[in-house]
Amino acid sequence: MAMRLWQPLSLLAVMAIATLLFSLAVGSAQLSAAQLWAVMQGQGDALARTMVIDLRLPRALSAFAVGGLLAVAGALMQVLLRNPLADPYVLGLSGGASIGALAAMLAGVGGVLMSGSAFLGALLSTFLVFGLAHGSGGWTPSRLLLTGVVVAAGWGAVITLMLALSPAERLPGMLYWLMGDLSYARAPWPPLLLLLLTCIVLMPLGRSLNVLARGPQQAAALGVDVRPLEWGIYVAASLLTAAAVTTAGSIGFVGLVVPHLLRLLLGNDQRLILPACALAGGTLLVLADTLARTIIAPEQLPVGVITALLGVPTFLFLLYRSR
Amino acid sequence: MSRLITQDLIINVPDRCDGTALNIALEPGQIWGVLGPNGAGKTTLLHTLAGLNAPRSGHVLLDDQPLETLRRRKIAQILGMVFQERLDGFPATVLETALIGRHPYLSLWQMEGADDYAQAESALEQLDVAHLRHRLVSTLSGGERQRVAVATVLTQAPGIWLADEPTNHLDLHHQSAVMALMAQQAAQGSAIMMCLHDLNLAARWCDHILLLYPSGEACWGPRDSMLVPSALERLYQQRLATVEVNGAPVFVPVS
């Protein structure tokens, strides 16, 4: 039984490490395996060391954390809303974050202030959607989903308005942020720690989530305290998404496709799917970001474009082949 | 051995006056049938007894303790519920579905062990769906899914069964098989209450009957005192003919 969990997870972990190493070695200046080894030993020439330790490593780790956070948040949202189309952004969270970030850019501030503004926007959107969906009675998944979709549409209009009113020289930066951009991600540890913590907290709840996926009444009849669990999932997924969006902008597709891809391959046990999402989501985004900064190096592509270009055909192929 | 008692229980059916307060004792070994027309509140009653719906007033006692003071996990170790409607959610196999019956007994970090698998397999065996164990539930027929749902509760092995139309979608043979399984559970000390639409199944298998009227009125008692044609005709607003087969009454609607 435990083997059933560890086999796929070890395989995914090996893939994750291989992808991380690959992303450290390639770029506008390539490193051989020997050079990379030397750098990791603390040797090698100073330029290569700066490039790997100060530039590529934080970026690769950030990409891993963001990808993992988005995939786990997506998987949680799908269980919470019992809807396969749910993704981390379905409740309008990325729209709120985008408005925060774009407003900061318009005001001409960057760095920590912009991240903070994006995070505030994400939280604001979360509370708005939840408050509206809650209304006078209790919330139901379908009501939450519908509220989220409508709020997201509203944010979309505001974003377009802001882009239309922005001075031309600020537009490229804004568009890159909206498509997801890891080039400013310099502090990988907070999101990585959050990802690790989430996985540790979620592991023992996996079986309860399996039961919850069969509906709240069935879950309650089998001994699950449904309301606290649903609240917990909602808060956790929102926090994870907010952290991801704050680090790297709104990167689409990871949160929708990675959980489904893994479900098609590994079945539907959340105890396996959630840690697998952390590993596979991270791996996918590291790979996508590496491609984004190498294909037309030294120019960079928005990483969201690459995740979609990689993810769409893979997903469609697996879906086509599934029973 | 567990018992379920209601004290002046009024179930909360929206826009209906209180009606009769229920004082029922569901004892080990008993099989209760709940009869009533559509919308009489049969499902609401079972959900209230399971603690899934709050009552309008009164109490439900599970082994002498008020239901609302017990943790859900504790309740689930004693009381199992066969639902009338089920969500499919995400794809799951028949075996995985039966296994969730073990959920109330496993601690947070614990994985299902060989015993749990054996119990689920045996339940699937008894419901005649073991050959489907690796099929996705969503690909099964209605009757097969119904049997998987009963198998899940059998895996849960509760002392009290609340079954909402357990014979829904089942062919004649499997209707009898499921009712025989209920009788076997009762003989082993379980207490069983089920909603039924089939008067003849109720007459054949239940020892106590609860009649629920759409007005909220209710009456209950041993089977033979309750399954009286005049009371049933008033219950369903339907004329019935009664014939006797092998010493038991059989009710047939006549126009």
Q: Taking a contact as any Cβ pair under 8 Å apart, which residues of chain A between 210 and 229 contact chain B?
A: 210-211, 213-215, 217-218, 220-225
Mutate to test the interface with A, among B90, B106, B107, B152 (most CBs of A within 10 A): B90
Mean pLDDT of B212-229: 94
Of B79, B83, B108, the CB nearest to A204: B108
Mutate to test the interface with B, among A200, A222, A226, A323 (most CBs of B within 10 A): A222
Residue pairs between chains A and B whose CB atoms are closer than 8 Å: 78
Cβ contact, residue pair B109, A269, below 8 Å: no
CA distance B210 to B86: 25
| Burial zone of B233 (CB within 10 Å; 0-12 exposed, 13-18 middle, 19+ buried) | middle
CA distance B120 to B148: 10
Query: Percentage of chain B with pLDDT > 70?
Result: 99
Single-letter amino acid, residue A22: F
Cβ contact, residue pair B87, A214, below 8 Å: yes
Mean pLDDT of A137-163: 86
**Which pLDDT does position B24 carry in this prediction?**
96
Q: Using one digit for the tens of pLDDT, what is the confidence trace for A273-300?
A: 999 999 999 999 999 999 988 887 777 8
A322 close contact with B: CB closer than 8 A: no
CA distance A145 to A82: 10
With respect to CATH, is domain A2-321 assigned 3.30.160.60?
A: no
Within 10 A of A131 (CB to CB), how many other CB atoms are there?
Answer: 11
Tokens 């990988």 belong to: A188
Q: In what order do the strands lie in the sheet with B208-212?
A: B79-82, B160-164, B191-195, B31-35, B208-212, B218-222
A145 pLDDT exceeds 80? yes
Task: Find which of A53-57, A177-181, B101-105 is predicted with most confidence, using mean pLDDT.
Answer: B101-105
Of A2, A210, A222, the CB nearest to B76: A222
Q: What is the pTM of this model?
A: 0.90
A268 close contact with B: CB closer than 8 A: yes
Arithmetic mean of pLDDT over chain A: 86
Where do the structural domains in chain A lie, given as residue ranges?
A: 2-321
Query: Percentage of chain A with pLDDT > 70?
Result: 97
Cβ contact, residue pair A223, B87, below 8 Å: no
Single-letter amino acid, residue B171: D
Angle, helix B142-156 to helix B172-187, in steps of 10 degrees: 10
CA distance A288 to A301: 10
User: What Rg, from alpha-carbon coordinates, does chain B have?
Assistant: 18
Mean pLDDT of A100-128: 84
Nearest chain A residue (CA) to B75: A223
**Which pLDDT does position B202 carry in this prediction?**
94
Task: Find which of A132-141, A229-238, B23-32 is predicted with most confidence, using mean pLDDT.
Answer: B23-32
**Which pLDDT does position B33 carry in this prediction?**
97
Q: Which residues of A touch B113 (CB under 8 A)?
A: 1
**Which pLDDT does position B56 carry in this prediction?**
95
A35 pLDDT exceeds 60? yes
Confidence of residue B26 (pLDDT cuts 50, 70, 90): very high
CA distance from start to end of chain A: 24
Note the CATH architecture for domain B4-229. 3-Layer(aba) Sandwich (3.40)
**Which pLDDT does position A2 carry in this prediction?**
60
Q: Taking a contact as any Cβ pair under 8 Å apart, which residues of chain A between 58 and 97 contact chain B?
A: 78-79, 82, 84
Judged by DSSP in three states, B35 sits in strand
Arithmetic mean of pLDDT over chain B: 94
Q: Using one digit for the tens of pLDDT, what is the confidence trace for A53-102?
A: 788 899 999 999 999 999 999 999 989 888 777 888 777 888 888 898 88
CA distance A147 to A125: 11
Confidence of residue B86 (pLDDT cuts 50, 70, 90): confident
CA distance A65 to A193: 8
User: Quick one: which H or E segment has residue A322?
Assistant: none
Tokens found for residue A20 = 């991380």
Confidence of residue A323 (pLDDT cuts 50, 70, 90): low
**Which pLDDT does position A3 carry in this prediction?**
65
Cβ contact, residue pair A268, B90, below 8 Å: yes
B203 pLDDT exceeds 90? yes
Tokens found for residue B217 = 């009125």
List of residues 6+ apart from A280 with CB closer than 8 A: A12, A15, A16, A71, A258, A261, A262
Nearest chain B residue (CA) to A81: B89
A1 pLDDT exceeds 60? no
Please state which of the ranges A31-35, B48-52, B195-199 shows the lowest mean pLDDT.
A31-35
Distance from CA of B255 to the nearest CA of A (A): 39
Q: What is the ipTM of this complex?
A: 0.93
Single-letter amino acid, residue A148: G
Nearest chain B residue (CA) to A264: B91
Q: Which residues of B touch A1 (CB under 8 A)?
A: 111-113
Q: Which residues of A touch B44 (CB under 8 A)?
A: none
Tokens 């597709």 belong to: A253
Query: Percentage of chain B with pLDDT > 90?
Result: 88
Q: Using one digit for the tens of pLDDT, what is the confidence trace for A185-214?
A: 778 888 999 999 999 999 899 999 999 999
CA distance B91 to B180: 30
Write down how long chain B is. 255
Judged by DSSP in three states, B38 sits in coil
Mean pLDDT of A154-173: 89
Within 10 A of A29 (CB to CB), how many other CB atoms are there?
Answer: 11
Beta bridge partners of A48: none
Angle, helix A93-106 to helix A141-165, in steps of 10 degrees: 20
B49 pLDDT exceeds 70? yes
Mean pLDDT of A242-256: 86
Confidence of residue A137 (pLDDT cuts 50, 70, 90): low
